[in-house]
Amino acid sequence: AVKFTIDGLKATVEGKEILKGVNLEIKGGEVHAVMGPNGTGKSTLASTLMGHPKYEVTGGSVTLDGQDVLEMEVDERARAGMFLAMQYPSEISGVTNSDFLRSAINARREEGDEISLIKFIRQMEGKMKELEMNPEFAHRYLNEGFSGGEKKRNEILQMMMLDPRLVILDEVDSGLDIDALRIVANGVNSMRSEERGFLIITHYQRLLSYIKPDYVHVMMQGRIVKSGGPELAERLEKDGYDWVKEELGIVD
Ligand code: ADP
Ligand code: MG
Ligand code: MG
């Protein structure tokens, strides 16, 4: 069973402390949503968990099934089953989407156990169909010239193909129209299982009416300051964040 534990995580960017002691535990089968105002460190949390070199961990621990994540290189984290869909996916010219995906899958497998081309293509075509993606996207350069919505769908395609144990989605809903949002949410929902945990970062409640979270956390000033169930997201949508600040005596 999956168990992902963040304990007292602190991180700095360019010498400035952004994460000030984040605690969170995600088990297989659970969907956790992290919400919060802009600039509170949500993307920093996602990037730090994935080992982005810009973010320096200055305290705390992160473990996946008891393994020390902070000791792992970025590719080791991916091999351990961590997956991040980013707020702004990068474009890679000269590498096709399908080449990128196949090397990402094979990077997580033992030598000699690479996925066969036929099997890979069959899987990819199936998933692309589910995501209502035009088949030509397999052969386009990674994210190059993709619209915002196409990039997001492509991130979900990667998630589905890589079969991760811990999925982190950072504002995967931003810039999506309602049809694309529904498709992305269906993709995520189809991946929900006991074998996998989800950390869904979102600024808006909208996504959470399609992907029902088990837990909702509010992040402010680099910490998770409040946790609850789906009703917390609804209250935040209705009333904003001021009441949380008042309740907890947080001053900007
Ligand atoms: P959120 O995702 O909650 O909107 P971020 O994690 O993106 O917030 O940012 C939190 C704070 O960290 C902001 O003040 C932001 O300017 C700063 N920050 C994040 N990443 C960087 C970076 N690469 N370089 C400089 N400052 C950064
Ligand atoms: Mg932001
Ligand atoms: Mg962000």
Q: Rounded mean pLDDT of 234-241? A: 93
Domains, the chain, ranges and CATH?
A: 3-90+164-248 (3.40.50.300)
pLDDT band for position 110 (50/70/90)? confident
pLDDT tens digits along 148-164? 888 889 999 999 999 99
Query: Any residues with CB less than 8 A from the CB of 89 and at least 6 apart, and which?
Result: 143, 151, 152, 154, 155
Q: Is ipTM beyond 0.85? A: yes
Task: Please state the pTM of the whole predicted model.
Answer: 0.93
Residue 164: name the closest of 74, 69, 82, 100 by CA. 82
pLDDT tens digits along 79-102? 999 999 876 787 888 889 999 999
Distance of CA 206 to the CA centre of its chain: 17
Q: Rounded mean pLDDT of 200-226? A: 94
Position 67 scores a pLDDT of 97
Q: Rounded mean pLDDT of 33-62? A: 96
For residues 167 and 86, what is the distance between their CA atoms, to the nearest angstrom? 11
The verdict on the CB of residue 36 being under 6 Å from ligand 1 is: yes
Mutating to test ligand 1, I would choose from 19, 44, 172 the residue with most ligand atoms within 8 A of its C-beta, which is: 44
pLDDT tens digits along 115-150? 999 999 999 999 999 999 999 999 998 988 888 888
The verdict on the CB of residue 42 being under 6 Å from ligand 1 is: yes
The verdict on the CB of residue 14 being under 6 Å from ligand 1 is: yes
The verdict on the CB of residue 19 being under 6 Å from ligand 1 is: no
Name 198's bridge partners: 31, 167
pLDDT tens digits along 15-24? 999 999 999 9
